[in-house]
Structure 1
Amino acid sequence: MDTVIVTGGRGASGRWVVDRLREDYEVVVVDRDHPGFGAEPVENVDFRAADLTDRGAVRELVASIDPDAVVHWGAIPALGRHPEGDVFENNAIAAYNVLTAAGEAGARIVQASSDGAYGFFFAEETPLPEELPITENHPRRPEDGYGLSKVAAEEVAAGVARRHGVQVASIRPSWIQEPGEYPCRDPGYTGDLGAGAGNFWSYIDARDVAEMVHTALTTEFAPEGGHEAFNCVAADNALGDPLETLIERHYGALPSGPGVEGDGTAYSLKKAGELLGWVPEHSWTEAADEDVPRPELVRD
């Protein structure tokens, strides 16, 4: 069984990634904190502790494990809890350290980017996209430290792919929801059109994120080495109304491009479908009320 390192695997979305990958890999979860030597991991999971901003520690750890694949999921996930400069520095430096070490090991790589890389959500005045639906080729113009850190991480990924001839996928999830806990369906969100306008009311189920990670690791979309970014969103929007109607109501105009039919998502899923064969399976219409426990990575 191949070995995969997953950084940030004890986090809210990371544990869904680990739970999916442990079906086919020996997973080594690397986080800042260790669950303790008294904790018994679930099958095919082990733990290491490391500061991902410590280049020497990351390089030594990756070299000692010699993984077949690396999933870099460890980051400060948004603005608001840390100084903005700290968010940028932590995320950009950690990405450089982990991806460089993974490239040196010849590992296949998947990393967590974000739709924040486009620069819509945290902009002082949210701009309309240049096209609808938004493809992965849309310009990335973030103004904030979080979005800028994701652009930096994607550029590092491209450089690592060129230098080491490895395959790297940067996954751009929108707002990740866990089954049964869908804040995108809370009354304060659905009752305020502006609450979700910054990412055009997009979202994604954590299980679909985990499946895209797995698919990106097991699909040869760049067999000679290369970097590709993939939108990772649900097929519908979180309000369930026609998307173009929502955009026109909030912004007073519509972008150019082919447009989006019905209650679809603003982000194009075509590339993920063509290169990975991935399509999202979950919608808020069922998942918001599903009773699915969050994966546990240690035994009771």
Structure 2
Amino acid sequence: MRIVIIGGSGHVGTYLVPRLVRAGHEVVNVSRGQHSPYSPDAAWKEVLQIAADRTAEEASGQFGKKILGLKPDVVIDMISFELDSTKQLAEALKGEICHFISCGTIWVHGPGVEVPITENQPRRPFGNYGIQKAQIEQYLLDFARRSRFPATVLHPGHIVGPGWNPLNPAGHFNPKVFADLATGAEVALPNIGMETVHHVHADDVAQAFEKAIENWGASVGESFHVVSPSAVTLRGYAESVASWFGKKANLSFLPWEKWRLTVTEQEVQATWDHIAHSPNCSIEKAKRLLGYQPKYSSLESIKESVTWLFEHKVINVPSE
């Protein structure tokens, strides 16, 4: 099939594009042309690259027409963050494509009640990102039911892989936390460190997109969580990272109002978003209907990423 990926040069696209090429598909990558894949792969030589400024072309009402003009069988939208953006594209593609797959987020749920959270639990999103993604999901699945638009929505967790900073055990993205754990320096965690985060390796997310295409009848009109088999607690995460370096985690715990004074405002916002959600999501639906089988556990995917950070001197550990 001819598969057009919007935003295919990012974290997931780095793995998804080569997967699709090797599966025999004709792949077109639509992006701003400002980013190379995180990992090189010869398959990219077979990909047609189309430069586009989505924001500008949506403002002129041309983006959907541009994608349709590429004559896709399948469209994968990795980078729609607003409902109006998705609506414009879906309306342009209605009746013209075989499959439309949108990348969502597990933050569509907001705080969970029963865990692991399943896809059919009532949504209680908060924050602009989660609210917009929940609206996109609702629109696409309603559009699928009302108009037979062949939509599928996949909801990844905290995407991780070699080449970028993973969400760390303190719930933010400052890589110094990993250096401190590696050297036995004290790391303060909010509350008692029992909030959860749910990572997923970018290649496992790519696997889920490929499985959704392969299992069209089971995936159309549905949404699926795409995460590792299990979430991790902040405390367990920190202890595991320290153990990779032969250390015992030197942890302290502070009530939220005191902990937030120890980090930057940017880190406060990131951590609050993550611990307020504390995602812990089930993948049973994706396993049953799509045959999704993640290769990596949360800690395995994080370890690969952290190893890359140390090897490429993004994190420096002082010599003892």
Question: Please, what TM-score do these two structures have when normalized by structure 1?
Answer: 0.70
**Secondary structure of residue in 2 paired with 1:142:** coil
C-alpha deviation, 1:233, in angstroms = 0.9
Query: Residues 105-116 of structure 1 correspond to what in structure 2 (within 5 A)?
Result: 105-116=96-107
Partner residue in 1 for 2:16: 17
1: CA distance between counterparts of 2:122 and 2:141?
Answer: 16
C-alpha deviation, 1:274, in angstroms = 1.1
Task: Indicate conservation of the 8 Å contact 1:10/1:31, yes or no.
Answer: yes
C-alpha deviation, 1:238, in angstroms = 3.6
**Runs of at least 5 residues in structure 2 that lack an aligned partner in the other structure:** 37-41, 170-174, 182-186, 238-252, 256-278, 309-320
Partner residue in 2 for 1:229: 223
Q: 1:177-208 deviations in whole A, cap 9, x for unaligned?
A: 01475443667388555499898221100000
Change in 2 beyond 3 A, CA 1:138/1:273: same
C-alpha deviation, 1:281, in angstroms = 1.2
C-alpha deviation, 1:75, in angstroms = 3.8
Task: Indicate conservation of the 8 Å contact 2:218/2:289, yes or no.
Answer: no
Task: Indicate conservation of the 8 Å contact 1:8/1:75, yes or no.
Answer: no
RMSD over aligned Cα atoms? 3.6
Correspondence 1:64 to 2:69: yes
Partner residue in 1 for 2:94: 103
Question: Please, what TM-score do these two structures have when normalized by structure 2?
Answer: 0.66
2: CA distance between counterparts of 1:101 and 1:198?
Answer: 46
Task: Indicate conservation of the 8 Å contact 2:157/2:227, yes or no.
Answer: yes
**Secondary structure of residue in 2 paired with 1:288:** helix
Q: How many residues align?
A: 247
2: CA distance between counterparts of 1:187 and 1:280?
Answer: 28
Change in 2 beyond 3 A, CA 1:193/1:284: same
Partner residue in 2 for 1:87: none
Residue among 52, 55, 72 paired with 2:54: 52
Query: Residues 1-300 of structure 1 correspond to what in structure 2 (within 5 A)?
Result: 2-24=1-23, 25-33=25-33, 42-53=44-55, 54=58, 56-75=61-80, 91-120=82-111, 129-179=112-162, 182-184=166-168, 188=177, 191=187, 193-194=189-190, 200-222=196-218, 226-239=220-233, 266-290=280-304
Change in 2 beyond 3 A, CA 1:29/1:115: same
**Runs of at least 5 residues in structure 1 that lack an aligned partner in the other structure:** 77-90, 121-128, 244-248, 252-264, 294-300
2: CA distance between counterparts of 1:196 and 1:99?
Answer: 45
Q: 1:227-278 deviations in whole A, cap 9, x for unaligned?
A: 11111111123449789xxxxx999xxxxxxxxxxxxx82111111111111
More helix by share: 2
C-alpha deviation, 1:289, in angstroms = 4.0
2: CA distance between counterparts of 1:233 and 1:270?
Answer: 11
Which residue identity lines up with residue 152 of structure 1 in the other structure? Q
Query: Which protein shows a greater Rg?
Result: 2
**Secondary structure of residue in 2 paired with 1:47:** strand
